[in-house]
Structure 1
Amino acid sequence: MTYALVTGASSGIGAEFARQLAARGHDLVLVARSGPALETLAATLRQAHGVRAEVLVQDLSAPDAATRVADEVAARGIAVELLVNNAGFGTAGHFARIAPEREHEELMVNVVALVGLTHAFLPGMLARGSGGVVNVGSTAGFNVAPYFATYASSKTFVLNFSLALWSELRGTGVKVLAVAPGPVETPFFDRIGSRQAAIGARLATPELVVATALRAFDRDRGYVVPGRGNLGMAHLMPRRPRKLLALIGRRVTRQVADALTPSPGPG
């Protein structure tokens, strides 16, 4: 049995990936920390599309999370044909005032689990000569982002990692796509602790992001930036001097940091 496995499937972009993949006829493994939300979504997808939908509850910040997921999938006799590494979260504010434990969890989910799951399921795809990996990044990954230092850097990793694999795997039948959305109408900003993190941007919908991503995956595009308004952020700003970008970014994003944590003073 071949399935699509979606992490962070309990809400937002992950839940929308599950819905659109089910509409395409994919059987699913839904992974997140929230069992009740996953069970509700799985029941809805089974009824609406007649697909199999397995629920796997796992906190991806755990050191052995990828191994646990892979072992459980194998125990259920499931082969993962499409891996959607969507799970992730962000931190924002003055770096020195963000809890180190929270940033560690962020990197475990955004980077370590993503790589671990790709390691776990890619060999099977290569053996079958088909399948793929979709990694959800961010336009933040194209730029230097003061006050979002850890989050943006983790998304830079996602972009570069994905494109490196995309290049490595050309001709194997296995595709890799990095999706780099700008601000999206999901619980992301509430979890950061400030809606100001969107900085006045027009929020995209999960439906648009996922539909754009799946079209790009079908065409083996390597990466895609959903929404025309994000093209400048992704393709023009990175060509400017990086130190200048860091200074410009500081002026733009400091309002978010100051709203989250009291400023330590000038500088």
Structure 2
Amino acid sequence: MVKQIRFSYKGKFALVTGASKGLGKAYAEELAARGSNLVLVARSKSELEALAEALRRDYKVRAEVIQADLGDLSAPSRIVESLERMGIELDLLINNAAVGYSGKFFSRSVEEELTPVIVNAHSLVALMHVLGKKMMARGSGGIINVASNGAFQPIPYNATYTATKALVLLLSEAVAQEIKGSGVRVMIASPGPTATEFFTQSPTTVKLEKMDSAQSVARRTLDDYIRGKVLSYPGRFSTRAGTWISRILPRELTTALAGHISKSMGFDR
């Protein structure tokens, strides 16, 4: 049983990547509702500014905007520089931004296949390391890295995306153990299919109403962080149960089964 820790979001400063839409926006709104000040990071400055204005108006919190494309290798260092100019010391980092392309690996250009590696892995590791090191120096703070239920096994037709999410999962679990007792915590959120633009822009045949809402995933993630969890499954129970398959079946069979499900969902196109 996970012991609930003493923590309040009120008055804390949280940075959310990919905050302009989808799950990132839901995290920002849920944090603001709990009294957190925000640093919102994404590519779209106009969408970020509109969200920041709404959060200030509705929740009376401070909300700052940093426009950055995490597909640019220099973006993490520029984000850190912006925080230093603002004089903001983060209490919580939520690495939420992610890019994923479905389809056969060799059907896309190498540039397209490298984009998720840069956004989902390189930029996440860079922000986690630089901002996490500052937290370690003062002995307080937290990091929530958003992985996926797809991180637990290879998934054909989502090969690069799920591989990057496996890196997020394994890295975060390892670091969480390394820093145990330091005053800094790392938690992994592993949601399943969530009703966001991520799926509306994909060829999947699964209806959004069959998925978890971004709001419920955000709420459950933040509740699990308070509970002191290292690994959060903020979606429906079937999402968590699906991750057990890779622990039971032979790996080749698991991959074949995952590929069959992925294909049935329309991701092979």
TM-based fold match above 0.5: yes
- Contact 1:2/1:78 (8 A) holds in 2: no
Distance 1:108 1:4, change over 3 A: same
The SS at the match of 2:195 is coil
Query: Which of 125, 132, 139 is matched with 2:135 structurally?
Result: 125
Q: Does the alignment pair 1:248 with 2:257? A: yes
* CA-to-aligned-CA distance 1:195-234 (integer Å, 9 cap, x gap): 33x4899200111111111111112211111221212112
Q: How does 1:168-207 map onto structure 2 within 5 Å?
A: 168-191=178-201, 193-196=202-205, 198=206, 202-207=210-215
- Contact 1:216/1:224 (8 A) holds in 2: yes
Tell me the equivalent position of 1:265: none
Q: Does the alignment pair 1:59 with 2:69? A: yes
CA distance in 2 between counterparts of 1:30 and 1:63 reads 19
CA distance in 2 between counterparts of 1:107 and 1:199 reads 27
The SS at the match of 1:238 is helix
Tell me the equivalent position of 1:148: 158
CA distance in 2 between counterparts of 1:93 and 1:74 reads 40
Q: Does the alignment pair 1:165 with 2:189? A: no
- Contact 1:225/1:234 (8 A) holds in 2: no
Tell me the equivalent position of 2:19: 9
Deviation at 1:86, TM superposition (A): 0.2
Distance 1:211 1:101, change over 3 A: same
Deviation at 1:177, TM superposition (A): 0.7
Query: Which of 206, 213, 227 is matched with 1:219 structurally?
Result: 227
- Contact 1:176/1:217 (8 A) holds in 2: no
Deviation at 1:129, TM superposition (A): 1.7
* CA-to-aligned-CA distance 1:87-141 (integer Å, 9 cap, x gap): 0021111111012111111110000000000111112211222110001111000
Tell me the equivalent position of 2:241: 232
Tell me the equivalent position of 1:89: 99
* CA-to-aligned-CA distance 1:230-267 (integer Å, 9 cap, x gap): 12112344331111111112222234244x2xxxxxxx
Q: Does the alignment pair 1:35 with 2:37? A: no
CA distance in 2 between counterparts of 1:139 and 1:160 reads 13
Distance 1:33 1:186, change over 3 A: same
The one-letter code matched in structure 1 to 2:169 is L
CA distance in 2 between counterparts of 1:231 and 1:106 reads 24
CA distance in 2 between counterparts of 1:59 and 1:84 reads 16
Distance 1:200 1:117, change over 3 A: closer
CA distance in 1 between counterparts of 2:255 and 2:262 reads 10
Higher mean Cα deviation, 240-249 or 79-88?
240-249
The SS at the match of 1:30 is strand
CA distance in 2 between counterparts of 1:98 and 1:238 reads 31
TM-score with structure 1 setting the length: 0.91
**Residues matched between the structures, number:** 257
- Contact 1:137/1:181 (8 A) holds in 2: yes
Tell me the equivalent position of 2:109: 99
Tell me the equivalent position of 1:208: 216
Unaligned runs of 5+ in 2: 1-10
Q: Does the alignment pair 1:68 with 2:104? A: no
Deviation at 1:54, TM superposition (A): 0.3
Q: Does the alignment pair 1:113 with 2:118? A: no
CA distance in 2 between counterparts of 1:24 and 1:123 reads 26
The one-letter code matched in structure 2 to 1:45 is L
C-alpha RMSD of matched pairs (Å): 1.7
